[in-house]
Amino acid sequence: MIYLNNAATSWPKPEAVYRTADQYLRCLTGSPGRGTHEAALAAGRALLESRELLADLFGINEPEKIVFTSNATEALNLAIRGLLKPGDHVITSSMEHNSVARPLFALQTQGVEVTIIDCAPVGTLDPAAVERALRPNTRLICLTHASNVTGTILPIEEVGAIARRHKVYFMVDAAQTAGEVPLNVEEAGIDLLAFTGHKGLFGPPGTGGLYLRHPEVVAPLKYGGTGSQSELLTQPEIMPDKFESGTLNSPGIAALGAGVKFILETGLEAIRKHTRELTAILLERLKELPNVTIYGPSDVAMRVPVISLNIKGISPGEASAWLAARYDIVTRSGLHCAPLAHKTIGTLETGTLRLSPGFFNTAEEVEQVIEALRELVREVQKRDS
C-alpha cells in the first residue's frame, strides 16, 4: 500500500507511539488525578510530560494552559462557543474547515456577527482585508494555519500582529500544520491554538488540545469531575482542570507525547524538508500530465504537503477508487469537510482528489503514484475518445 492520506490521519506512526499506548494500557492502571497509588501517579506524570512536550513544540511558556480535548474540532468548539456572545463580531476566512464554519454558523443564528474574508482562488489571504473588516465589537479573528484542501499556508504572523494592534483575540486552527510547520504562539501572537493529535503530531485519533492564553475569558464546554476541589459544586477556575472534566484519553495522550517527542528529536526542519521534497516532486511531475488541474499555490514553500487536483473526464471519487483498486494507493476524494474552500477555488460541484504525503513516504512511492496517475489519465482519454 502507498498511503497518501496523511492530511486525514497520519500513518504509519513512529514505533514509540505504538509502544507507549500499549505500555500505558498494560501497566498504568490508574486514572490521573483520581487516586494516589503509584499507577495513578504514573498516569498523571505521563499527561504532564505530554503537556510539557507540546508546550516545548509550540513555544508555550505555561504548559498548564494547554488542555486536552478529543480532537481539533472539540478544541475549536470550546474556544468559539466559550468566548463568543451574542453581539460579538468574529472574522474568519473562506478556507476554513467545517469544524470552524459550522460552530460559527450556529452562533450566527444566536446573534453573533460573522464576517468571512474571501481568499484568492489559490487559497491565499490578504491580511489587509482582515484589518478592513474589523468592527468596534470584533472579539475574535479565527484563521486556519493551512488549508486542508489546497495546502495553502495562511499568513498567521501578519494577522496575529493585526489582532494584537487592535486588541482582538486571535485563534489559529493548526490541524494541518502542527508537527509540519514551525509554529510559535509568541511569534504569531496566538491567544487560542487548536490542534489535533492524529495528523502531523503522530498521535492516535481521539487526541487533541487547545492552548488558551486567557483561560479566564473562556467558559467551559463541559462541567464535571476534575479530581480537585471536589467539595465545590462550581467548576474550578484553576488550569488545566477548568476545561478537563471527566476522565481523559490518557493512553492516547501519552502516545501523543511519544509522537511529539519523535518530532522534537527528529527536528521539525528535517520533517518539513522531507515532506517539501515529496510535495515538490508531485507538483513538478503532475504539471507534466495532460488534462490535470492542480489547485493551490505553485510555490512549494507556501504549502503543507496537501495537493488537490482534478482530472478531466473523471470524478475525484472514481479516480480515488481506481487508484486504490488497481495500485493500492490511498487518497481521498470529495469536499474534505470544507465547502467554503471549494467555493473559493471553484470546485464546490466536483470536489477534488487529494494527495497528502507524510514523513514516512519516500520519493519512490510518489514517483509510483505519478506513474499510476499517468496511466489513469491515458485510460480516461481512451474512454472518452
Partner 1 sequence: MSHQLTLFTFPSTFYALKAEKAVQNAGLKAKLIPMPRELSSLCGLALELETGEEERALEILKAVKLEKKVRVVKEKGLIAKIVEVVEYEPG
What is the contact mask toward partner 1 in residues 212 to 251, using x (rule: CB under 8 A)? Answer: --------------xxxxxx----x-xxxx----------
For partner 1, the closer of residues 145 and 261 by Cβ is 261
Burial 104-140 (b: 16+ CB within 10 A, else e): beebeeeebbbbbbebeebbbbebeebbeebeeebbb
What is the contact mask toward partner 1 in residues 170 to 209, using x (rule: CB under 8 A)? Answer: ----------------------------------------
DSSP letter string, 22-34: HHHHHH--SBTTB
39 is an interface residue for partner 1 by CB under 8 A: no
For partner 1, the closer of residues 52 and 158 by Cβ is 52
Q: How far is the CB of 61 from partner 1 (least distance, A)?
A: 10
DSSP letter string, 9-59: S--S--HHHHHHHHHHHHH--SBTTB--SHHHHHHHHHHHHHHHHHHHHHT
With CB under 8 A as the rule, give the number of residues binding partner 1: 23
For partner 1, the closer of residues 57 and 66 by Cβ is 66
CA distance 278 to 300: 10
Helix (H, G, I), strand (E, B) or coil at 250: helix
Among 32, 160, 203, 209, binds partner 1 (CB under 8 A): 32
For partner 1, the closer of residues 16 and 48 by Cβ is 48
The partner residues of 356 in beta bridges, in order of sequence, read 5
CA distance 352 to 26: 42
Among 9, 16, 35, 113, binds partner 1 (CB under 8 A): 35
Cell of 227: 479530581
Q: How far is the CB of 215 from partner 1 (least distance, A)?
A: 12
Whether the CB-CB separation of 336 and 352 falls below 8 Å is answered with: yes
For partner 1, the closer of residues 65 and 145 by Cβ is 65
- What's at 79, amino acid-wise? A
Among 8, 39, 48, 280, binds partner 1 (CB under 8 A): 48
Q: How far is the CB of 367 from partner 1 (least distance, A)?
A: 47
What are the distances in angstroms from CA 93 to CA 26, 120, 291?
44, 11, 30
Stretch that binds partner 1, among 42-50, 95-103, 113-121, 281-289 (CB under 8 A): 42-50
- Residue whose C-alpha cell is 472574522: 91
- What's at 369, amino acid-wise? V
For partner 1, the closer of residues 48 and 133 by Cβ is 48
For partner 1, the closer of residues 41 and 324 by Cβ is 41
Q: Which residue ranges make up the site for partner 1 (CB under 8 A)?
A: 32-36, 41, 44-45, 47-48, 51, 64, 226-231, 236, 238-241
